[in-house]
Chains A and B, each alone.
Chain A
Amino acid sequence: MPLIFGKSGEEFEVTTIQGGKGFLKKLMEMGIYSGIRVRIILNPGNGPIIIALSDTRIALGKGMAAKIIVRKLS
């Protein structure tokens, strides 16, 4: 499922990232790539979201978050 549908507090594993090359690369170089675990800190539901990569917090636009496909970890 796309990351944007996740709820605050849930944890995911990134499976794939879709979309434009430039930003795909930037996301990967910022540490978001397949296999990595992310947690949603805040998803207000109508705009950008905040995710956690271990101790780092990253704000992601809605469009970006829709392109990151994840698997929910229980």
Chain B
Amino acid sequence: MTNALITKGKTINVALAGNPNAGKSTIFNALTGGRAHVGNWPGVTVEKKEGRFKYKEYEFLVTDLPGTYSLTAYSIDERIARDYVTKEKLDVVVSVTDSTNLERNLYLLVSFLELGVNSVLDLNMADILEQRKVRVNTKKMEELLGTPVVMTSATKKAGLNELKEMIIRSKDRKIQPLRIDYGKEIEEAIKKVKESLSSINSPYPVRFLSIKLLEGDIEIIKEVRGLGYERSVEVAMHEGSRLEIGFGYDLETEIIERRYGFIESIIRQCVRRVPTIEEKLTVSDKIDGIVTNKWLGIPIFAFLLWTTFQLTFTVGGIFADFIDTFFGWLAESSAIWFASIGVPGWLSSLVGDGIISGVGAVFVFLPTILILFAFLSFLEDVGYMSRAAFVMDKAMHAIGLPGKSFIPMILGFGCNVPAIMSARTISSEKDRLLTILINPFISCSARLPVYVMFTGIFFKSNQGVVLFTLYMLGIAVAVLSAKLFKSTIPKLKGPVSPLVMELPPYRIPTLKGVSIHTWERGREFLKKAGTIIFAGVILIWLLATFPMSSEYASETTLIGLIGKFFAPLFRPAGFPFWQAAVALLFGIIAKEIVVGTFGTLFGGEGALSASLLKYFTPLSAYSFMVMSLLYIPCIAAIGVIYRETNSWKWTTFITAYSLVIGWVMATVVYQVGSLLI
């Protein structure tokens, strides 16, 4: 019986919206029984989290939205949340609020209500209210707001059934948009704008549109213009300046303050607070006193990072070597096996040199990336990451980036792919883009094998110093490029967005939370970047195979021809031979392949060192390393840049820019060096 009812399609589409740290994720997990990450860094849930559960005869489809403070979209997260609530066909939006800070939390709800969204107000963290002996008259609140109210304690799983019942009861409610009285003058202005908007065909209530126009909301202005109501925008602007001149106040500010005035009056009527004794510093505050201390802040941060790296690369390295060996063995044995059953050479090569090496190239990164992500998820779930941004804010401002950009830069030393992904938490689009664009210049661990090979042959006595100069060069190019882009590219211009960031309370992360979080990111890397690496490997295999009369990756294959074509280009940089060009080309798949390519082209590991000595001088070896450091990071990084910027324009730009910079720097090094020596 019940099953028949469910299949009838009684699905209720619910979204959870609210300020960061109001408890949305906790509510989501409690409702759906897990499979969503419990975040701690405000705004980390960029991905849309959906879950299903059954209650009574209904099937609930729940979406956990990124935290947001208002309907004004400042960051990608906030835009996602706003668009979802305003554009999607939802039955109910549950407005999850932190009851310990009602003023601010109700602001978002009030915005929803003005928009006419069918909302249920969830006063979460009720347990804390109880502890503090704060009483809320929910009946009265329902009356005043015209929307149902429930109280929950997500962490204690209390009030969840009431919430579900309330969602069911209110799903078909007839909604009247909430009317806040903005005072005589503003109301007159609203009326004028409303009149000019008569018969507009918009999903939003006309009053809402009018208020937003007066507030100067850019998206709404665009929307109204698009519908051919340019004149209304002008009316609103005129009214705005009339009020500012006539009454001396800023309309935007005034409207927001009126809204808060409305909220405060509701709180006054519905919430009884027992006068509290002076608030004490919480444990979190005490930890912050140490962690963000003027003198200790940066050393603590440096120590945590150093430890993370050490552990990531020692532990990850073991796995990486193992995987590398495994795929090497697999390729070899498959070749032997294919030969024994008489499979044609090209097919054997496709499987061995192409597919197996390709998949191997993806998998070799995986352990390092997963371990790095596990550490970062841990630091994030503890609540430390936002403190790190706080600590670095001042230093980063000097190079034109906010404090939050420091984390992606540091991660870049490990691997640029997760580093670029971690830029998501930066709210300003312009700062985020800049952070992504300069990241490839941070020397990742995949470039290390190239340095190791060349310094081992040409700079035996001062390997460390040479290595250090390369890393510093990467940083310098990143910093200078940031400055250059910021001063020349219009989209990146403007002051660094100032720091305004919520600091979540510290808490002990759960193993489950950290593992889910880690896996979600790792899976994304595998899926998205993996397909691109794989496709790239196949492409290069094809180039290295045809024409089939030639030996794999020899001078007369397509890739050899391409190498020969490009080789003269590197004359000014000191390495004008086709093998170097081919190695650089292969290096696009992954930088460590440069080493392997030289190995193949110069006839195996044994002959390598002698051949390199014949072709390179210490100077051209250095310029080749500079080139390897700076030109296009690798296919995976290009893929992730595209995915994160969602723009071929920026992806192409940074790829081309890095090629040019790599070539220019290598040439400068070689030419200046030649003069000096």
- With A59-B499, A61-B500 already in contact, the answer to whether A42 and B101 are too (CB < 8 A) is no
Task: Tell me the minimal C-beta distance from B216 to chain A in angstroms.
Answer: 8
Q: Which one of B285-293, B459-467, B664-672 is at the A interface?
A: B285-293
Q: Is B103 an interface residue (CB 8 A)?
A: yes
Q: Which of A24-74 contact B (CB under 8 A)?
A: 24-31, 33-36, 39, 41-42, 44-48, 50, 52-64
B394 touches A46 (CB 8 A): yes
B288 touches A64 (CB 8 A): no
Number of A residues with CB within 8 Å of any CB on chain B: 37
- With A25-B252, A30-B69, A55-B98 already in contact, the answer to whether A36 and B103 are too (CB < 8 A) is yes
Task: Tell me the minimal C-beta distance from A54 to chain B in angstroms.
Answer: 5
Q: Is A23 an interface residue (CB 8 A)?
A: yes
Bound form: Cα–Cα A37–B6 in Å: 50
Bound form: Cα–Cα A5–B74 in Å: 28
Task: Tell me the minimal C-beta distance from B256 to chain A in angstroms.
Answer: 5
Task: Tell me the minimal C-beta distance from A33 to chain B in angstroms.
Answer: 6
Q: Which one of B24-32, B220-228, B501-509 is at the A interface?
A: B501-509
Q: Which of A7-36 contact B (CB under 8 A)?
A: 17, 21, 23-31, 33-36
Chain B residue at minimal CB-CB distance from A63: B498
Q: Which of B456-490 contact A (CB under 8 A)?
A: none
Chain A residue at minimal CB-CB distance from B395: A47
Q: Is B230 an interface residue (CB 8 A)?
A: no
Bound form: Cα–Cα A32–B293 in Å: 24
Bound form: Cα–Cα A35–B263 in Å: 13
Chain B residues with CB under 8 A of A60: 498-500
A24 touches B253 (CB 8 A): yes
Q: Is B104 an interface residue (CB 8 A)?
A: yes
A57 touches B505 (CB 8 A): yes
A31 touches B103 (CB 8 A): yes
A54 touches B100 (CB 8 A): yes
Chain A residues with CB under 8 A of B390: 48, 50, 59
Q: Which of B275-309 contact A (CB under 8 A)?
A: 279, 281, 284-285, 288-289, 292-294
Chain A residues with CB under 8 A of B501: 58-59
A56: which of B104, B250, B281 is its contact (CB, 8 Å)?
Answer: B104
Chain B residues with CB under 8 A of A31: 69, 101, 103-104, 107
A58: which of B285, B389, B503 is its contact (CB, 8 Å)?
Answer: B503
Chain A residues with CB under 8 A of B250: 21
A28 touches B74 (CB 8 A): no
Bound form: Cα–Cα A12–B597 in Å: 66
Chain A residues with CB under 8 A of B279: 39, 52
A50 touches B503 (CB 8 A): yes
Chain B residues with CB under 8 A of A29: 69-70, 72, 107, 256
Chain B residues with CB under 8 A of A54: 100-101
State the main secondary structure of chain A at its contact with B: mixed
Task: Tell me the minimal C-beta distance from A52 to chain B in angstroms.
Answer: 8
B294 touches A45 (CB 8 A): yes
Bound form: Cα–Cα A26–B101 in Å: 17
Task: Tell me the minimal C-beta distance from B349 to chain A in angstroms.
Answer: 56
B294 touches A50 (CB 8 A): no
Chain A residues with CB under 8 A of B281: 41
B500: which of A23, A34, A41 is its contact (CB, 8 Å)?
Answer: A23
- With A42-B288, A53-B101, A58-B503 already in contact, the answer to whether A34 and B394 are too (CB < 8 A) is no
Interface string of B93-122 (1 = CB under 8 A from A): 000001011011001000000000000000
A42 touches B289 (CB 8 A): yes
Q: Is B142 an interface residue (CB 8 A)?
A: no
Chain B residue at minimal CB-CB distance from A27: B500
Interface string of B236-271 (1 = CB under 8 A from A): 000000000000001011001100100000000000
Interface string of B387-423 (1 = CB under 8 A from A): 0011001100000000100000000000000000000
Bound form: Cα–Cα A53–B69 in Å: 14
Chain A residues with CB under 8 A of B40: none
Chain B residues with CB under 8 A of A17: 253
Q: Is B386 an interface residue (CB 8 A)?
A: yes
Chain A residues with CB under 8 A of B499: 48, 59-61, 64
B294 touches A46 (CB 8 A): yes
A56 touches B101 (CB 8 A): yes
Question: Which 4 residue pairs across A and B have the least CB separation, nearest first?
Answer: A31-B104, A61-B499, A29-B70, A61-B498
Q: Which residues of A contact B (CB under 8 A)?
A: 17, 21, 23-31, 33-36, 39, 41-42, 44-48, 50, 52-64
What would be 15 A-B contacts, judged by CB atoms less than 8 Å apart? A21-B252, A23-B500, A27-B500, A28-B253, A33-B256, A33-B257, A33-B260, A36-B103, A44-B294, A46-B394, A50-B292, A54-B101, A58-B502, A60-B500, A61-B498
Given A48-B394, A59-B390, 7 more A-B residue pairs with CB atoms under 8 Å apart are A24-B252, A25-B253, A28-B253, A28-B256, A42-B292, A48-B390, A50-B288
